[in-house]
A and B are shown apart, each in its own frame.
Chain A
C-alpha cells in the first residue's frame, strides 16, 4: 500500500495533523492500534477529567460550542469530543492496526503493520508521550505481598485491597489518585518529589485562562532557558472538578494524606524517603508566586484589575517539622507508581533516538528527512503537551512537511537520502 504521509496515532495530535494535511491536499492515512482516542478509552482512571477547561481544547477548525465553557471534560466526554472531531474532518483513520516497524526505504519510509505494509515519503509520529509508566528500579526489591500498580492500570479504589497505600509521585496523577484513594477510607502516604503547585482559580479566573492570556502557554522552545528541563517539568497539581477545587499539598494534608519526601530507597524492611521535602515545597511555592506575580503584572498592564478579584497569595505549603524518613514495608498493602511516563518507540527502526531513548528533533522536525513528531511536552511551545497545543504544532509541521514534499519532487533521484 502506498500513500504520501503516514500519521501514527489517532489521538488529538494525530487528528490535528490529519486535518492540516487534508487542508493541504496531502494524501495520508492515520494508523491507530485501537480506536480513535484509544488511550483515553483504555488507559485512564474512571474519575479523571481534563485539567483544561472545555473552551481550551481547540483543534484546527474546531472549538467548543457547548454551554459549559469553564467545565472540565470527563473521559466519556473527551472520547466523544475526539470521535466527533475525527468524523467532522473525515480523518482517514485505519483502526485496529498496530505498527510493528518504521524503517527507511529508498524513497522514504516503510511502515509495517499487522495489517500490511505502507510505503510513504513522510511519517508523522503522534503516538503520545505517556505509553509506558516509569517505575523506579527499586520496585524490584519489594516483597510480593505488596500490590503495585501504575496509573495505566488504576481505575478506581475498588481495585485495591484494604490497607495502607503509598502513592509515589505528586504531580497531577499522584495527587489526584492519592485524594481519591484517601476518600475511599484507606490511609494514604504520598511521596513528594519535584512538583508544580498552582491554584485552580486565581482572582476569579481559571489558572489555565491566565496562562493562556498572559502568554505562558505560547512560550517557544527556542526562547526557553533550559529546554531539557522545560520538557521534563511535572504536570501541574490540578484536578478538573465541578467545585473547581485546588489540589495542592495543603489540601491533601487537610483531608489526612501524610506527606513524605521523594522515595529514596528500600533497605531491609523499610522504604526510605528523602529529607528534601521542605526544599521541594519551598521551590514549588516560589515558582507559583513567580507565576502569580507575572499574572498580576499582566492584569495591571492590560487594565483588567477592575474585572477580576484583587491579587492575593496562598498559604505556603505546610510541611511537618520532621517528616518521616522511612516507613515499615509491613504496613504497606499497595504502592501506586505515579512516577511519570515515557513514550514507546520499540517499533521505530530509524536511528533518531538519543542515548536516553528520546527522539532527536528540532521543534518536532525529526533528524530523519520527512519525519515529524507531535503531541510531546514542550515540542514547540509550552502548550504542546495540551490538546490545545496540537493546532499550532500541526499547522507548522504540516507546512514544513509540505515544503519537504515539494523539494523531494523537484529533486532528481531518490527523494530521501539514505544514511
Chain B
C-alpha cells in the first residue's frame, strides 16, 4: 500500500516510533526506563496516587503535568467510594495499553480506525481477599476483553491488529506473567 494514496491517520506518529526503535536498537542502555508512582493514604480505604516523573533515554523525564488518581472501594464494602477500586484501575490500565497498541499497529499497517471500544470484565471470587477460603486467589480469576472496532479493514485484519497489540503490550505482559515485587518499609 502506498502512503501517498492512503492518508491513514489514527493520530499515531509511527515514523517517530520506528525511528526510536532504530536508534534504541543500537543503544540498549537508553532503552532502560523506570516508571514511578507515589501514593498517599487519605482516609479509610481512600488513597491518592500521583505520577509525574519517570526515567528514560538516559535521563529524568517529566509528564506535561502531574496526574492524580483517586482509588477507594464502593459503599457495599463499607467504604465511601471516592474513586475506582484498584482492580478497576488495573482493568483501565490494560484497556488503555491494548487500545494504544491497536491504534499504533493499525497506523503501521495503513488501517484507518473509525472507532474502537474495549469492554473489560474481570471476574473475582472475593472469598480470597476476605480470607474466607485459602484456596481462592486474591486476584482476578480471569479477564475478558471485548473489542468493538470499526475500521477500513477485513475482520481478519482487525483480529490480527488486536492480536499484535497483545503481543507488544506491557500491561498485558504484566498481567499474564509473574513479576517479582519487593515491598520495603523505610
Interface residues of A (CB under 8 A from B): 261-262, 264-265, 267, 272, 274-276, 279, 282-283, 286, 289-290, 322, 355
Contacts and interface: CB of A to CB of B under 8 A. Distances in A.
Contacts of B142: 322
B172 A286 contact: no
Contacts of B160: 283, 286, 290
Interface stretch (B1-9, B36-44, B69-77, B173-181): B173-181
> Would you list the 8 A-B pairs with minimal beta carbon distance, nearest first?
A275-B176, A265-B178, A279-B166, A264-B177, A283-B163, A276-B176, A274-B176, A286-B160
Nearest to A225: B108
A136 to B, nearest CB: 12
A289 B154 CA distance: 13
A274 B178 CA distance: 8
B156 A289 contact: yes
A279 B163 contact: yes
Contact of A276 (B141, B164, B166): B166
Contact of B177 (A265, A289, A355): A265
Given A262-B177, A286-B160, A322-B141, 13 more contacts: A261-B176, A264-B177, A265-B178, A272-B177, A272-B178, A279-B163, A282-B163, A283-B163, A283-B167, A286-B159, A289-B156, A290-B156, A355-B28
B178 A264 contact: yes
B178 A279 contact: no
Contacts of A355: 28
A276 B178 contact: no
A282 B159 contact: yes
Main secondary structure of the interface of A (DSSP, over half): mixed
Contacts, number: 38
B106 to A, nearest CB: 15
A265 B180 CA distance: 10
Interface string B10-33: 000000000000000000100000
A283 B159 CA distance: 9
Contacts of B167: 279, 283
Contacts of B141: 322
Contacts of A275: 175-177
A267 B178 contact: yes
B97 to A, nearest CB: 14
Contacts of A283: 160, 163-164, 167
26 contacts: A261-B176, A264-B176, A264-B177, A264-B178, A265-B177, A267-B178, A272-B177, A272-B178, A274-B176, A274-B177, A275-B175, A275-B177, A276-B166, A279-B163, A279-B166, A279-B167, A282-B159, A283-B160, A283-B163, A283-B164, A286-B156, A286-B160, A289-B156, A290-B160, A322-B141, A322-B142
A279 B176 CA distance: 11
Given A264-B177, A355-B28, A276 B172 contact: yes
Nearest to B108: A225
A330 B177 CA distance: 21
A24 to B, nearest CB: 37
A129 to B, nearest CB: 22
Interface in B126-158: 141-142, 156
Contacts of B166: 276, 279
